[in-house]
Amino acid sequence: MSNARLTPLAASLPSTVPFIGPEELERRRGTPFTARLGANENGFGPSPLALAAMQDADGGIWQYGDPVSHDLRQALAAHWGCTPANIVVGAGIDGLLCDLVRLTVTAGDTIVTSQGAYPTFNYHVAGFGGTIQAVPYRDDAEDLPTLIARAAETDAKLIYFANPDNPMGSYLPGAEIAAALDALPSGTLLVLDEAYGELAPDDATLPLPIDDPRVIRMRTFSKGYGMAGARIGYALGHPDLITAFDKVRNHFGLNRAAQAGALAALSDADWLTHIRAEVATARAELARIARNHGLTALPSATNFVTLDTGRDGAFARALVAGFAAEGIFIRMPFVAPQDRCIRVSCGPSHDMAQLDAAFPRALAHARNTLSETA
């Protein structure tokens, strides 16, 4: 038996992770997936400049990364028209969410989120003893005015809002977010997760100064820039809040190769334009595939498309299992009524073709599974 004495809070928590990774699912099924379309990774790959920069950094991998990410923050500040004091770099949005929750949430504090939204945020809140207030989606989109109203009712410290949204792919124009903030209670911070921002329409951009104290914006190099495995992202906000991250963050949590790759990726605007075009093509192909097999593709501002099965959560789960049996990894929303859908990441044409070919068999698997349990 371990000598470690867990805190009462840690001892009370279940031993779990927000998502079961595709690698673990492959181990359980005893064979690899042939199409990886469930984690919203960028299957079109990172910029060749980023790859070259990371390879060049290999020789110095014996050295720790720059603990303040000076060069990357300078470049990001120029990119956003702000100062480096407005930016903190971290181990992806997940790591930054953990740091933010650690800074702001303790036992008994309330946060507000959407029921069925990105679960990793909730995971961190539970880990620090916070209380989660969840607001249902409205018309398959996060309901920002109701989130703000619930925050006012509960004296919430944080509101989590993703724009564009995962898992539904919807987005809210930035001007509407800015207008909604007029009702934000004093002492409540909007956590604006913009993981898919590089892939969203231009009007999704929030038209507010980077240092607006009501908002912290989070971005990543995992999606549009295709560097999910490098685990690097950043937050934009008021200097007072950004400086506070130095109280809790892992100062040597980023490796040199990731920092070099992110800096090069940021400089390659042409590659990002290429990725946006590839994603748009794949979204259209997913809509066509869905239509041909009797499903409906919901509008998407991301690098995935959510497909409405027209059935219920049980059918969608059976359909996900049917695709897994065909070697195709996909996911689905996990809260009703959004769990009637499946979610498929955009990918290269050969992955889209494999999905299309497997659809009839996956649908048959789902129907057979339900008939056997009826």
Q: Which residues are within 8 A (CB) of 231 and not within 5 positions of it... i.e. 6 or more apart? A: 91, 92, 95, 222, 254, 258
- Does 1 fall in a domain? no
Q: How many residues does the chain have?
A: 374
Q: Are residues 201 and 257 in the same domain?
A: yes
Cα distances from 239 to residues 14, 235, 250, in angstroms, run 36, 11, 18
Residue 276 covered by a domain? yes
| Structure confidence at residue 16 (pLDDT) | 80
Q: Which residue has the tokens 């607006």?
A: 212
In terms of Cα–Cα distance, which of 149, 205, 211 is closest to 181? 149
In whole angstroms, what is the distance from residue 316 CA to residue 318 CA?
5
The pTM (predicted TM-score) of the whole model is 0.96
120 lies in some domain: yes
Residue showing tokens 């339900």: 370
Tokens 């989660």 sit on residue: 132
Q: 96-132 burial by CB neighbour count: b if 16+ within 10 A, else e?
A: bbbbbbbebbeeebbbbbbebbbbbbbbbbbebbbee
H or E element in which residue 305 lies:
strand 304-308
Cα of first residue to Cα of last residue in the chain, in angstroms, is: 45
Same domain? 277 vs 355: yes
Same domain? 276 vs 256? no
* pLDDT for res 19: 85
Based on the domain organization, do 319 and 350 belong to the same domain?
A: yes
**Can you tell me the distance from the alpha carbon of 197 to that of 306, in angstroms, rounded to the nearest whole number?**
17
In a domain, 3, yes or no: no
pLDDT by 10s per residue, the chain, length 374: 688 999 999 999 998 878 889 999 999 999 999 999 999 999 999 999 999 999 999 999 999 999 999 999 999 999 999 999 999 999 999 999 999 999 999 999 999 999 999 999 999 999 999 999 999 999 999 999 999 999 999 999 999 999 999 999 999 999 999 999 999 999 999 999 999 999 999 999 999 999 999 999 999 999 999 999 999 999 999 999 999 999 999 999 999 999 999 999 999 999 999 999 999 999 999 999 999 999 999 999 999 999 999 999 999 999 999 999 999 999 999 999 999 999 999 999 999 999 999 999 999 999 999 987 76
Contact 326, 366 (CB under 8 A): no
98 and 142 part of one domain:
yes
C-alpha gyration radius of the chain: 21
Are residues 187 and 248 located together in one domain of the fold? yes
With b meaning 16 or more CB within 10 Å and e meaning fewer, what string describes 40-73? bbbbbebbebbbebbeebeeeeeeebbeebeebb
User: By C-alpha distance, which of 314, 288, 292 is closest to 372?
Assistant: 314
Which of 234, 267, 300 corresponds to the end of one domain? 267
Residue 328 has φ and ψ, to the nearest 5°, of -115, 120
Q: What is the pLDDT of residue 374?
A: 64
Beta strands 87-90 and 110-114: pairing type? Answer: unpaired
At 48, list the tokens: 């060749």
In a domain, 4, yes or no: no
- Domain presence at residue 304: yes
Full domain range(s) for residue 195: 48-267
Domain shared by 236 and 288, yes or no:
no
Cα–Cα distance between 281 and 176 in angstroms, integer?
Answer: 28
pLDDT given for residue 74 in this prediction: 98
Give the chain's domain count: 2
Cα angle: 231, vertex 16, 35; to 5 degrees: 55
Answer yes or no: is 2 within a domain: no
